[in-house]
Amino acid sequence: MVTVNAMGDKCPVPVIKTKKALDALTAPETIEVLVDNETAVANVTKMAQSTGAAVTQEKLGEDEYKVTIQALAGEGTQTAAAGAVCDCVPTGDTVVVISSDKMGRGNDELGKVLIKGCIFAITQLDELPKKMIFYNGGAKITCEGSDSLEDLKNLESQGVEIVTCGTCLDYYGMKDKLAVGTVTNMYDIVESMNNAGKIVKPC
């Protein structure tokens, strides 16, 4: 029996923890995943079922759930997290383009939580994108005070090129606040997008 404690973890961490536990298996095994919300239950269930595993759910108490996975030996889990609601970037020779410090439309605070979770999810991919481009409001994410700096520095250390539009930094008065990656220009942005095998724009 393997237990994954994801209590208190925000999306997409429960899925990522479960995926890592599945990938580590060398023989069929039962995995119990503990989470504190129904969205995590749904995401973990969907990901695990996509590997061919049998999955059951149980509510243990107020804000306490258990997902039981009768797992295979790591088969099919390398891309299984793509089935989770919060996964936002496919694998491959990909350029990620981020144009806002918020993801989606609606509540701005929720949007900031979502874009932070999206960037963290990128750090957990088996195959990282080639390049990440930040422009307009997205330029704020690469500057001092951003909640995503640690994740972006992690990506940069693994070879992901992080670039931010210089015109945007100037507009927001943040050129001296850039904390990760390098400054780029619109020609480089257009050229990178034109030559990309795939472009992903989560916001």
The b/e string for 45-69 (b: 16+ C-beta within 10 A; e otherwise) is: bbbbebbebebeeeeeeeeebebbb
User: Three-state DSSP class for 97?
Assistant: strand
Which residues does residue 32 pair with via DSSP β-bridges, in sequence order? 3, 68
DSSP-H helix ranges across the chain: 13-23, 38-49, 108-123, 149-157, 166-171, 186-195
| Catalytic pick among 11, 86, 118, 203 | 11
Q: How many CB atoms lie within 10 A of CB 191?
A: 12
Q: How many residues are listed for the chain in this entry?
A: 203
Q: Look up 143 and say whether it is catalytic.
A: no
List active site positions: 11
